[in-house]
Amino acid sequence: MPKDEIKDFRLVGTRPNRPDGLDKVTGRARYGADITAPGMLWGAVLRSPHAHAKILKIDTSKAEALSGVKAVVTRADFPTGLTGEDWNLQENTMAGEKALYDGHAIAAVAATSSQIAQEAVRLIEVEYEVLPHVTDVDDAIKPDAPVIREGAADATVPEGMPPNVVKYFEFGRGDVDAGFKDADLVMERTYKTEATHQGYIEPHACLGQLGADGKGEMWVCTQGQWYIRQMCSAVLGLNAAQLRVTPSEIGGGFGGKTTIFMEPLSLALSQKAGGRPVKIVMSRSEVLRATGPTASASMDVKIGMTKDGKLTAARAEFRMQGGAFPGAPVDMALYCCLAPYKIDNVEHIGYDVLANRPKCAAYRAPGSPMGAFAVESLIDEMCRKLDLDPMDVRLKNAVREGDQASYGPTFGSIGLAEVLEATAKHPNLSAPLGPNQGRGVASGYWFNHSGETSVSLAISEDGNAQVSVGTPDIGGSRASIALMVAETLGIAYEDVRVNVVETGSLGVNEPTHGSRATFASGKAATVAARAAIKEMCRRAANEWGIDEEAVEWVEGAAQPAGPNAGEFPPMSIKEIAKNMGKTGGPISGHHESVPEGVGASFGCHVVDVEVDPETGHTKILRYLVVQDAGRAIHPSYVEGQYQGGAVQGIGWALNEEYVYGDDGRLQNPIFLDYRMPVASDLPMIDTQIVEVPNPGHPFGVRGVGETGITPPLPAIANAIQGATGVRMSHLPMTPTKVLAALKASQE
Amino acid sequence: MSKIHVTTVVNGDEVEFLADPRETLLDCLRDHLGLTGSKEGCGTGDCGACSVTVDGVLISSCLMLGVEAQGKKIETIEGMANGEELHPLQRKFIEHAALQCGFCTPGILVAAKALLEKNPDPTETEVRYWLAGNLCRCTGYDKIIRAVMDAASEMRGAA
């Protein structure tokens, strides 16, 4: 859709109440832990207290002898011979020869009550041989670091690399050395970010049942029921189609619920307990110790800039650890970090490094926040040095449609320039600042994603529509999909019911990840609605005895397309639906594809902070998010994504981090010590939705979930420099660190 | 461990259950009484998702033992609406899009109701500090604060 063809919509862009609102304000909505089943057992998991240890012996006899215990499983109960990511998932589900991190599962128990299961876990005796461990990325990449796993490196890693490097990335274009020669200022800095957790308030929970015949069912809080099905089947050697997975309402995910952790254990326990269903609910400390936090990163960036603010060359070398398995998003970090800029000479190098920490999972724009912290911090510092306006420099170098991205592809329609222009005009950018206050700006980028998508739509007997989607609703997608379907069918928003369905109801769907639900399920639902419309036009044409091409769909009714088609009064969807049993049977539409036409999303944030010179505490005074949504289907939930992403980024910047002790154990596995932002830490989060419609989506949607977590990390560091003159290069910027930096700068 | 018989009043109804002495009030509400609207987000009193009132006092039900509920009056999210009629806070949370995943919502509604009973005209700062014990990871709190302020305003107008 060209930018100048923005249509007036009847429903798209309005803000109706969400369809699941009533259930959620009354406590009726059913989440992962809210279900029980007849004959149900409770599961509990024994976890390693060591960061790295050989498992010499597991004695489960005392646990098995406890009254009420119905099953105990260890790795010996799992199939062998898995390879690649299937092996990684199995090894992470249950330790094999070695415990690889503090919290790694060693054994699991199912019993008739939660208390008995916990007691039985304490009766399991494990003999360990503790091994040297490493948790910091810069230590893990040293040539003499403790080796996490021999032979884990893939073909990308050149000979002679340190033993924990498992993937290596190198790409770029132009001539960076020549580019640096053309610059008036070349600066190089090193940055570090610590691991954070998605921090969803709902701990992982599942209720699994598996019979001796290999048929099973699972109720689980997840972003993707088909991923759960596929991964559990792979880890346990099951036939995927025999496992039926139903997603519960989901209490937050942010990427962390796109994979498996303890879910296969409920199935393995259930099978061993004669097929009785087994419920496992993680505690918060299990969530923090043993699910999938982000990678931590150590990054070198070198940039060249002319005195009028033109970027001439950039070099980024990133090291990331994502736990004891390959998969740190160092590639994504490199792809995103320079994406907002048109630079002719770029070089990217990345190392994925193993360490004794839990296997990282996706977290909102995985990799992008770290990369942005490095690049956007350095660009800001260079602007200050050259006395240039950071907004001017961003606009001057902004990528536009047709430009080649720093990571290779050519951008289609994008809205970075529009975002920067809107930001520059926003009143927050000219609010007066007092003493110890500073302002920071930063840009952010996320590709957005499509993925396998399957949607089915059926017209009910009374002319309403029910839509079956496979993407769990994590932030209002049922509302946005209902709006698009109602708009397409020409019926009321309230006359559409969108159901998130189980794996037996549709073809394979990727999870709600990559900001894809409103883009991909929304696009597929719109195509499905059009198919139903075509069928309804055909039914009307048959009734009228005219060609179906001579019928058009207007405002929820079939009508003759023109005077030559004949004189018939419009036939409404209700009329067609009422008679469908007599005119050819059920009317439905469906669509299965990997929808094309993903639209990337850029954002720019502006933050004002005040730093207390006595304590080093940073207070957020004002916060602005400007981002290109393509089109905001339900603007309230677009704003919600912007605000939520920004606040997660604020937490990452100022408070949140995984703290490991010298013993390799996580020191802060509860919310008191893993300190996420609370209401009193924050001001209102101002938003401005920019709409540069994505031509690849019927309503122009880009996907809005992820970009917003990226700019806060550098924007706040930039604001702190504005307030104090001190440049912080290691997150989080806690009062202790800021105070130490202030003192060091005064010496 | 032998169980203890507990009689208590929940949302106006007298109820009985047998509690393992190790079980929290939250466990008892969820697992014995089927009141799963109160959520466990942390089990350490840090997230507020299990907020209920006991004899009118706002507490984290994960920090109280079930057996301590004997003879008390407990109010949970399930008792907040009056039949079909939502409490103004519940209505305003839907209208303002003050929830995304909705997992923290019951606890925040219970906590916000306790605030407005104590202080019908709170400032934004007062709302923010009162709700500082209720974590929300989805919304950044902006729309939650607006919904509470708007509900307070409507309730003052209606009084």
CATH no. for residue B23? 3.10.20.30
Residue in chain B nearest A42 by alpha carbon: B31
Please check whether residues B68 and B121 belong to one and the same domain: no
Please check whether residues B46 and B100 belong to one and the same domain: no
Q: In which element (H, E) is residue A590 found?
A: strand A588-593
Please check whether residues B66 and B38 belong to one and the same domain: yes
Asked if the Cβ–Cβ distance from A643 to B20 is below 8 Å, we say no
Residue B159 in this model has a pLDDT that exceeds 70: no
Distance CA B118, CA A459 (A): 50
Site from A477, A643, A678, A687 to mutate, B interface, most B CB atoms within 10 angstroms:
A678
pLDDT of the residue at A3: 44
pLDDT of the residue at B61: 98
**Domain stop point among B22, B44, B79:** B79
pLDDT of the residue at B158: 65
- Residue among A326, A294, A271, A266 nearest A105 (CA): A266
Which residues does chain B have within 8 Å of residue A283's beta carbon, measured at their own beta carbons?
A: 43
> Which residue in this structure is represented by tokens 């249509």?
A7
Site from B27, B63, B101 to mutate, A interface, most A CB atoms within 10 angstroms:
B101
Q: What is the pLDDT of residues B1-49, one digit of tens each?
A: 699 999 999 999 999 999 999 999 999 999 999 999 999 999 999 999 9
> Which residue in this structure is represented by tokens 């050519």?
A410
Which residues does chain A have within 8 Å of residue B97's beta carbon, measured at their own beta carbons?
A: 15, 18, 476, 634, 636-637, 639-640
**Domain stop point among B79, B113, B146:** B79
User: What's B153's domain CATH number?
Assistant: 1.10.150.120
Geometric angle at alpha carbon A303, from A298 and A307, rounded to 5°:
150
The domain locations on chain A are 3-28+450-593, 409-448+599-746
pLDDT of the residue at A549: 94
**Domain stop point among B79, B99, B116:** B79
Distance CA A732, CA A38 (A): 47
pLDDT of the residue at A2: 44
Query: Are the CB atoms for A303 and A310 separated by under 8 Å?
Result: no
Asked whether the ipTM of the predicted complex exceeds the cut of 0.95, the reply is yes
Asked if the Cβ–Cβ distance from B77 to A27 is below 8 Å, we say yes
Asked if the Cβ–Cβ distance from A202 to B145 is below 8 Å, we say no
Which residues does chain A have within 8 Å of residue B125's beta carbon, measured at their own beta carbons?
A: 680
> Which residue in this structure is represented by tokens 């060591």?
A50
Please check whether residues B66 and B95 belong to one and the same domain: no
Please check whether residues B73 and B100 belong to one and the same domain: no
The number of domains in chain B is 2
Pairing state of beta strands A618-628 and A685-690? Answer: parallel
CB-based contact (8 Å) between A251 and chain B?
yes
3.40.1110.10, 3.30.365.10, 3.30.2290.10, 3.40.50.300: which CATH number matches A409-448+599-746? 3.30.365.10
Please check whether residues B99 and B71 belong to one and the same domain: no
Please check whether residues B46 and B97 belong to one and the same domain: no
Please check whether residues B97 and B75 belong to one and the same domain: no
Asked if the Cβ–Cβ distance from B134 to A17 is below 8 Å, we say no
The answer for residues whose C-beta is within 8 angstroms of residue A261's C-beta and 6 or more apart is: A92, A93, A204, A282, A290, A291, A292
pLDDT of the residue at A52: 98
pLDDT of the residue at A564: 86
Which positions of chain A have pLDDT values less than 70? 1-6
Asked if the Cβ–Cβ distance from A24 to B102 is below 8 Å, we say yes
Class of domain A3-28+450-593: alpha beta
Q: In which element (H, E) is residue A719 found?
A: helix A712-724
Please check whether residues B135 and B96 belong to one and the same domain: yes
Please check whether residues B73 and B8 belong to one and the same domain: yes
Distance CA A24, CA A249 (A): 10
Please check whether residues B50 and B97 belong to one and the same domain: no
What is the span of the domain harbouring residue B35?
A: 4-79
- Tell me, yes or no, if the two domains A3-28+450-593 and A409-448+599-746 fold the same way: yes
pLDDT of the residue at A6: 56
The amino acid present at A99, given as its one-letter code, is A
pLDDT of the residue at A542: 97
Please check whether residues B9 and B63 belong to one and the same domain: yes
